[in-house]
Amino acid sequence: MPPSAVVTAVDACYALLGTERQWIEGLTRAFSPMLDAGFGVAGWAFGVGEWTWDGQLPVGVDSNFGKAMWEAAALMSDEQLLRCFTTGRVTSGAERLGLTKGMDEEAFGGPLALLGLKDLRALTVSDATGRGVALASGLSQPYRTSRREADKLERVSAHLLAGFRLRQSIARIDAVHEPGGRSVHAEGEARQPDHQESLVRAVKAYEQAHGARSVSNAESALEAWEALVAGRWSIVEQFESDGRRYLFARRNPPEAPRGSPLSPVEAHVLLLRAQGLTYKLIGYELGITATTANRVARLGMRKIGVRQDIELPALFRGQLAAALAPLRARSADR
Amino acid sequence: MGKRPPGLAVLAPPRDLRASRVAADGDEYLLLSYPLPDWDLPAILSLAEKDVARALLAGAAQSQIARVRGTSSRTVANQIASVFRKLRVTSRMELAARYSGGESGLRARGD
């Protein structure tokens, strides 16, 4: 599994905007390099204890596979279903059900066997209420999850759960507060179910409550920026509204694989790029190749939520103007 | 690795940066926002050239600009060439560096 596959999957977990179905479709595509064994990756939301088929088949797979999974589920006892959705986050279907020769040794495996499937590789996460999301792929042979694979997928599934919880919670953001702790409640309209609208309204409720930026708020913004640059937060979503770019970041747990701070070299490359220098010239300046300069810039941009390098000059013009002023003055004196 | 220019060791926050924290289900989220660029293009450009330049600075590809404006890609290429010639720049990055807003816009390449 290439490292880029993990990055793609983690990014898909935090796609906060759009409908649940769009999110799950994105997940099935992003997790495909990790899970797909030739039959596609199925994804669906579930609620433990309320297993009902409302006519919605899993997304990401053809309808035959989707129907077969539902038919298999319909043949399972409640206890077996519960084991499918609560026994660990990353195991095969047969492992979850305690079967050694594949799911087709039980009656419920029949619908799957008709498609040549003997097992499913499944990744499920759920919150404290029992609601969650499942991703599964079909396997033509019984499968045992290796320790190494389970460890790797466990790390990704932690992001899947975080993304799921975040999506659930954005719709009911209950408070926006300053770093100092004072709360500003985003009530009424901010509680609408549409995630993007909720987020935008919560931010605007905060900004309206504070009006013009005071010195203390500017200091708070500076603290927040420094924390972002230091890698204590990871950007999980960004959007534009009313002429502003909004970045939405999650606090990194200490053991998080992401969240490395912006290095001095990355900062230096970004500032040189912001001056309009080509990567070739930046390479000359820093004694690195143009390709390396480009790669370093992309890493740096990712860390501070900049999509394209064309945005850099405007973003850092104040800093660059201040830094270059003495040089210009010296140049004018000559 | 070359010497770092004085005063450029760290990235200062963007102008008019706003920040707030969001508490949700026991997790903490940070919301940051800053203004999108307000390109300060000179009057020497025609209206069509300004439109094309703004699209270019927003990161649009030549073909995308042509599609949105309902013109051919060749026309857009000519307009971009005209913008670069009039403003004496050689790339969109240089364009961005020079016209990223008001008096503080940078003048690259020793202007």
User: Å from A267 to nearest chain B CA?
Assistant: 6
Domain range list for chain B: 47-98
**Structure-token pair, residue B90:** 């050689």
User: Å from B61 to nearest chain A CA?
Assistant: 12
Q: A128, A144, A169: which is the final residue of a domain?
A: A169
Nearest by CB to B108, from A179, A276, A311: name it: A276
- Same domain? A239 vs A277: no
Interface test with B, best of A168, A278, A316 (most B CBs within 10 A): A316
- Same domain? A161 vs A180: no
CA distance A34 to B51: 44
Judged by phi (left if over 0) then psi (alpha if -120 to 50, else beta), residue A108 lies in alpha
CB contacts, 8 Å: A175 with chain B = 22-23
Boundaries of domain holding A127: 3-169
The answer to whether B44 contacts chain A (CB < 8 Å) is no
Which residues neighbour A212 within 8 Å (Cβ) at sequence distance 6 or greater? none
Nearest to A84 by CA among A122, A115, A47: A122
- Same domain? A43 vs A94: yes
Stated as kind and residue range, the H or E segment containing A50 is none
Cβ pairs bridging A and B (under 8 Å): 205
The answer to whether B15 contacts chain A (CB < 8 Å) is yes
CB contacts, 8 Å: B24 with chain A = 166, 169-170, 172-174
CA distance B93 to A86: 52
Q: B9-33 pLDDT, tens per residue? A: 567 788 888 887 765 556 677 778 8
Query: Cβ B100–A314 below 8 Å, yes or no?
Result: yes
- Same domain? A164 vs A191: no
pLDDT in 10s for each residue of chain A, 334 residues: 555 677 778 778 877 667 788 889 999 999 998 888 888 888 888 876 665 555 567 887 887 888 888 888 888 877 777 777 765 666 777 777 777 777 777 777 888 888 888 888 888 888 777 788 888 888 888 777 777 777 777 778 877 887 787 777 665 544 444 444 343 444 433 333 455 555 555 555 555 554 434 334 666 778 888 888 877 887 777 777 777 787 878 777 665 544 577 888 888 888 888 888 889 989 988 889 999 999 999 988 888 878 888 888 888 776 766 665 555 565 555 5
pLDDT of residue B53: 92
Stated as kind and residue range, the H or E segment containing A225 is helix A215-229
Residue A257: inside a domain:
no
For chain A, the first-to-last Cα distance in angstroms comes to: 59
For chain B, the first-to-last Cα distance in angstroms comes to: 27
Q: B57-109 pLDDT, tens per residue? A: 888 889 989 988 899 999 999 999 999 999 998 888 888 888 875 433 344 33
User: Å from B72 to nearest chain A CA?
Assistant: 24
Interface test with A, best of B11, B56, B62, B99 (most A CBs within 10 A): B11
The CATH code of the domain that includes A92 is 3.30.450.40
Q: What angle do CA A8, A13, A15 make, to 5 degrees?
A: 95
Q: What's the predicted TM-score (pTM) here?
A: 0.49
CB contacts, 8 Å: A323 with chain B = 5-8
- What is the count of structural domains for chain A? 3
pLDDT of residue A126: 80
CB contacts, 8 Å: A309 with chain B = 93
Query: Cβ A318–B94 below 8 Å, yes or no?
Result: no
Residue A111: inside a domain:
yes
Q: Are B45 and B54 in contact (CB under 8 A)?
A: no
The answer to whether B12 contacts chain A (CB < 8 Å) is yes
- Same domain? A9 vs A158: yes
Nearest CA in chain A to B32: A247
- Same domain? A116 vs A243: no
- Same domain? A11 vs A116: yes
- Same domain? A211 vs A120: no
pLDDT of residue A191: 37
Nearest to B22 by CA among A122, A113, A186, A23: A186
Three-class DSSP category at A309: helix
Tell me the helix, strand and coil percentages in chain A, rounded to 5.
Answer: 55, 15, 30
Residue A229's alpha-carbon distances to A303, A321, B21, B105, in angstroms, are 7, 21, 16, 24
- Same domain? A41 vs A144: yes
Q: B47-98: which CATH topology?
A: Arc Repressor Mutant, subunit A (1.10.10)
The answer to whether B100 contacts chain A (CB < 8 Å) is yes
User: Å from A93 to nearest chain B CA?
Assistant: 31
- Same domain? A36 vs A143: yes
Residue A238: inside a domain:
yes
Query: Cβ B28–A250 below 8 Å, yes or no?
Result: yes
**Structure-token pair, residue A247:** 């970045």
- Same domain? A8 vs A151: yes
Nearest CA in chain A to B14: A315
- Per cent of chain B over pLDDT 70 is 76
CB contacts, 8 Å: A242 with chain B = none
Strand order in the sheet with A90-92: A41-47, A131-139, A119-126, A90-92
ipTM: 0.72
- Which stretches does DSSP call E strand in A1-117? 41-47, 90-92
Instruction: Please list the residues that pair with B24 across neighbouring strands.
Output: B27
The answer to whether B43 contacts chain A (CB < 8 Å) is no
Residue A287: inside a domain:
yes
CB contacts, 8 Å: A315 with chain B = 14, 34, 37
- Same domain? A212 vs A237: yes
The answer to whether B47 contacts chain A (CB < 8 Å) is no
CB contacts, 8 Å: B7 with chain A = 319, 322-323
User: Å from A275 to nearest chain B CA?
Assistant: 5
CA distance A263 to B4: 13
Query: Cβ A247–B31 below 8 Å, yes or no?
Result: yes
Q: A217, A251, A285: which is the final residue of a domain?
A: A251
Query: Cβ A174–B23 below 8 Å, yes or no?
Result: yes
